[in-house]
Amino acid sequence: MRRYVNALLILAIVLVAPAIAVPASRAMAQDTAEVSFWLDTTGGAEGAECRVENAVDPFNALGNGVTVNATLQANNWDATRTSLAGGAGPDVIGTPGPSFAMQLALAGQLMPLDEFAEQFGWNERFAEGSLNLGMANDQLVTIPDEIETLVLYYNKTLFEQNGWEPPKTLDELTALAEQINAAGIIPFAHANAEWRPANEWFVGEFLNHSAGGPQKVYDALVGETPWTDPDLVAAIESLNQMQQNGWFSGGLDRYYTLTEAEAGSMFGSGEAAMKIEGSWFLESVDDYFGEAAGNENEWGWVPMPSASGEAIFDLGIGQTYSINANSANPEATAQFLDYYFSPETQARLLANCGVVPAPVDLQGQDLSAVNPGLAEILAALNEAFAANNYGYTTWTFWPPESETYLIEQVEKVWAGEMTAEEYLQGHQEVFDKEREAGAVPPIPER
Amino acid sequence: MHVQKTITLNSPYTQSCAADRRRAIIRRKVVPWLFVLPILLINLAVVAGPALSAIYYSMTDWNGIGAAHWVGLDNFRTLAADPGFRHAFRNNVIWLAMFLTIPIAMALLAASLLAPVKRGALLFRMTFFIPYVLPSVITAALWRGLLSPDRGIPALLTDLGIPGFDKAFLGGPDTVLPAIGFVDNWHWWGFLMVLFLASMQNIPPDLYESARLDGANRWQEFRDVTLPGIRPTFIFMILMTTIWSFLTFDYIWILTQGGPAGASEVLAVLVFKEAFRNFNAGYAAAIGLTMSFFVGCVIAVFQILRRRGWEI
């Protein structure tokens, strides 16, 4: 009997002790507000680790009563969405773009940020109009981060050797591609085997740089013109013609099977002459040029040609950050976001991690370590945005189902199973359905 | 000396016997359930619970994030009219036809050739089984390179002057599904072979000897002794291959994500895209439920045939 009493006593102590210890530790923790922040490691942890080193650790070192707990994990967006659906999730909600944040906002899972924006002066810090990209139901719900755009990269050495000039207009681009092809060189090193959504880069570029320009795309996004507008149909037909000519990596079958490394290598070696790609390519472009890559070539870039010849930069937002509607520490979370989006932190992330910044003014910051090509492109993009002369990337300004339609169904146009008009007509149907459901991300007025 | 014992009702003796019988019944019927209960509870939470909720969500407009609103059978009506669903289902049927024939034929042939081999048998088994233990991501990455038209096996065969290989098998709408099937088969058939081999080695050698004495040749031995001898394993793997063919996802997703132009899209890929790209989780649940229905039909056919006396 005594043996059983002793065993029960021990069991009671084991069960009760943590219950006593937890309030004590909680009492200690209450002096510090904890903020959870999840970072994505898909494709490699170096970027996330660099952000922790350059944004999270310095913030925690400030000793201002807020501690940010960073968790690194792959497929972060899937993990975030799943945890939110279960009523949990981190304090800082990261999404791959405004259209994703919009879905969370419509479900009431994001906290309005208007009060914090006023408290911390975000409206003055961010480029004018840029915070409008984070609006839903007339409230600021997410902060845009990682501005990006697409440009035309070209093999400068190859161009010089052949006396080719970088094009300014779409007609010049087509004529140049014909010349390049006639010389036995592949005009464009493009591939989507490892990233199927690469299709949308080209669809978006051609739609925005067509005869109607970004204004036409804007009109279609806000419903003032149909997606089957002749200019937009012609844009898709131009893109299709390039694919049928085999100008993308030598043929559709190669476009569908080459890896990014193979396409990059083709571009660097001179097997291909040009590449329409995002500003993110600057992180790896030097891997394909020069001695390390086994060639003596140099690269250059120009704005993606347009019908008018005007320099148009399509604006992309690669990431957004919000506050979880169920966050236990919204003020502390806002404090961290304010630090994260300060010009000093954004400049440090750009210089040390190569992370493209949010649309904040970085004048006066030390950007000497930044890739010069990236600095040029970002400066040009900021100028275009300030002048209201920007285009619309599909992953930033389109609702999700319409975006997926554009990515997948264009392959049927290329396969000859659908005309450009049928493609855009189908897109119109999906887009209208999403507009009725209120899923179209905010489109700032032009 | 005979001692007669008189047992009366409700005596301590009869009560004791009744108690013993009750304890025996409890031990036989209740205790096993107690052992099974923990895993059953886990199964209910992890399998049955989500399965039931999938039935519910298939009748809602749930986007996977916010609230779900009841829409009845709308998702199923959409599914019936969706050409994308029919196309994906057709690809699953093609996949089924590929996997009910090629890997099974290869596995049976290899197993029957290996069955009499004593020396080096383990080495052969390991060699054929290794692809099965490789992660699908590794296998897919390996074969993406090997199938490259410029740097892989097709390039080598073209250089040797063998026609028909100067193409990107994973990049053509007509060749992509068989190409992915080829990759998955490379990974899968060794597993089948090992199963069939183990089953063949349980066939009594006397049966082969009797057959030989009756003048049977190798093919007749295989047809009349081997196949009937491994029937339970063979039929079970036919059933599982059929079920898995409706669920196939990983190689297709890693290699092509259903492209090009939807040529390799199967039902599981469609479910993934609808749920996680298009935010149509309710519709995705309806597709998933339909897939389960097809699988259920296959299992039901097997059960019915078995009850009718078919030895399967």
Confidence of residue A1 (pLDDT cuts 50, 70, 90): low
| The pLDDT of residue A21 is above 80 | no
Contact at CB, A256 and B256, closer than 8 angstroms: yes
Pairwise CA distance, residues A232 & A208, whole Å: 8
Measured in degrees and rounded to the nearest 5, phi and psi for residue A184 equal 80, 20
> Would A291 be classed as within a structural domain?
yes
| The pLDDT of residue A314 is above 90 | yes
Contact at CB, B65 and A85, closer than 8 angstroms: yes
How many Cβ atoms sit within 10 Å of the Cβ of residue A270?
17
Residues A129, A197: one domain?
no
pLDDT of residue A6: 57
* Residue B65, token pair as written in the block: 């994030």
Pairwise CA distance, residues B189 & B185, whole Å: 6
- What's the rounded mean pLDDT across residues A338-362? 91
- What's the rounded mean pLDDT across residues A10-17? 54
pTM of the model: 0.86
Q: A178-236: per-residue pLDDT in tens?
A: 999 999 999 999 999 999 999 999 999 999 999 999 999 999 999 999 999 999 999 99
User: How high does pLDDT run on average in chain B?
Assistant: 91
> Would B64 be classed as within a structural domain?
no
Confidence of residue B5 (pLDDT cuts 50, 70, 90): low
Nearest CA in chain B to A417: B261
Contact at CB, B262 and A408, closer than 8 angstroms: yes
Q: B181-216: per-residue pLDDT in tens?
A: 999 999 999 999 999 999 999 999 999 999 999 999
Chain A contact set for B278 (CB, 8 A): 400-401, 404
Pairwise CA distance, residues A310 & B100, whole Å: 58
Pairwise CA distance, residues A56 & A277, whole Å: 31
Residues B52, B86: one domain?
no
Number of H helices, E strands in chain B: 16, 0
Confidence of residue A25 (pLDDT cuts 50, 70, 90): very low
Residues A409, A260: one domain?
yes
Confidence of residue A327 (pLDDT cuts 50, 70, 90): very high
Pairwise CA distance, residues A297 & A283, whole Å: 17
CATH code for position B284: 1.10.3720.10
CATH code for position A177: 3.40.190.10
Residues A237, A376: one domain?
no
Q: What is the DSSP letter of A355?
A: P
pLDDT of residue A283: 82
* Residue A272, token pair as written in the block: 């291909």
Confidence of residue A389 (pLDDT cuts 50, 70, 90): confident
> Would B70 be classed as within a structural domain?
no
- What three-state secondary structure class fits A73? strand
Q: DSSP letters along A20-36, please?
A: HHHHHHHHHHTTSEEEE
ipTM passes above 0.95: no
> Would B74 be classed as within a structural domain?
no
Residue among A186, A256, A409, A413 with most chain B CBs within 10 A, to mutate: A256
Chain A contact set for B66 (CB, 8 A): 103, 106-109
- What's the rounded mean pLDDT across residues A5-9? 56
Listed in sequence order, the residues at least 6 apart from A417 whose beta carbon sits closer than 8 Å to its beta carbon are B261
- What's the rounded mean pLDDT across residues B61-73? 91
Domain count, chain B: 2
Pairwise CA distance, residues A93 & A100, whole Å: 11
pLDDT of residue A15: 53
pLDDT of residue B10: 66
Q: Tell me the residue range of the domain where A119 lies.
A: 35-147+316-380
Residues A320, A304: one domain?
no
Q: What kind and span of H or E run contains A70?
A: strand A66-73
Domain count, chain A: 2
Pairwise CA distance, residues A296 & A292, whole Å: 9
Residues A122, A198: one domain?
no
Q: B262-271: per-residue pLDDT in tens?
A: 999 999 999 9
**For chain B, what is the radius of gyration of the CA atoms?**
28
- What's the rounded mean pLDDT across residues B225-238? 93
| The pLDDT of residue A18 is above 70 | no
Pairwise CA distance, residues B294 & B242, whole Å: 10
Residues A230, A243: one domain?
yes
Pairwise CA distance, residues B309 & A357, whole Å: 71
Q: What's the half-sphere exposure (Cβ side, CA atoms, 13 Å) at A114? A: 8
> Would B218 be classed as within a structural domain?
yes
Counting one residue from chain A and one from chain B, the pairs whose CB atoms sit within 8 A come to 80
Q: Tell me the residue range of the domain where B120 lies.
A: 82-307
